[in-house]
Structure 1
Amino acid sequence: MPKPNTQIAMQSLINQIKATIPLNLEEAQLCQGQCLGCSKKMLEMLDAEISYWQYSDAIPSLKDLKNLEKIGQRTYKILKRNQLLP
């Protein structure tokens, strides 16, 4: 079975992030209670990165894939720490 090209891998990663992380949380939800890392800023950064790759004609490199994966993981950890994910 051939390996997917980076464009297919990027789309797969984006789909996985969207299935795991709710990108449309309300600011009121994000900024309630104790804040251990800024959920709002991380979601904004993740959303901007996803939007760029969804609407860009650029071909992602392996470094781009790794970068998006790291942002997604950091965002997930912060949302989890701030009790915004189950």
Structure 2
Amino acid sequence: MSKPNTKTAMQQLIAQIQQAIPLNLNEAQMCQGECLGCSKKMLEMLDAEISYWQYTDTRPGLKDLKHLENIGLRTYKILKRNKLIS
């Protein structure tokens, strides 16, 4: 079995992130009660990164894949800490 190229790996990573993290939460849902990390800012940053990689012709490198993975993991942890996902 061969390894996917970085463009395919980026598309797969984006699909995994979109499946695990609700990118369409509205501000009223995010900003209620005590906040342990800013869910809104993290979702905005993650959405911007995903949008960039979906619409660019630039070929991602391994560093780019790791960067998006890290943003996705941090966002997931913050949303979970703020009880926006289970």
Q: Specify the TM-score bucket, using the shorter chain as the normaliser.
A: over 0.9
Normalising by structure 1, what TM-score?
0.99
Q: Counterparts of 1:1-86 in structure 2 under 5 Å?
A: 1-86=1-86
CA distance in 2, matches of 1:52, 1:23: 15
* Unpaired segments ≥5 residues, structure 1: none
Task: Give the C-alpha shift of residue 48 in structure 1.
Answer: 0.1
CA distance in 2, matches of 1:3, 1:20: 23
* Unpaired segments ≥5 residues, structure 2: none
CA distance in 1, matches of 2:40, 2:82: 11
Query: Runs of 4+ in structure 1 displaced over 6 angstroms?
Result: none
CA RMSD of aligned residues (A): 0.3
Identity percentage over the alignment? 76
CA distance in 2, matches of 1:23, 1:45: 11
Normalising by structure 2, what TM-score?
0.99
CA distance in 2, matches of 1:62, 1:38: 27
Q: What are the Cα deviations for residues 33-84 of structure 1, in whole angstroms up to 9, with x where unaligned?
A: 1100000000000000000000000000000000000000000000000000
Task: Give the C-alpha shift of residue 3 in structure 1.
Answer: 0.5
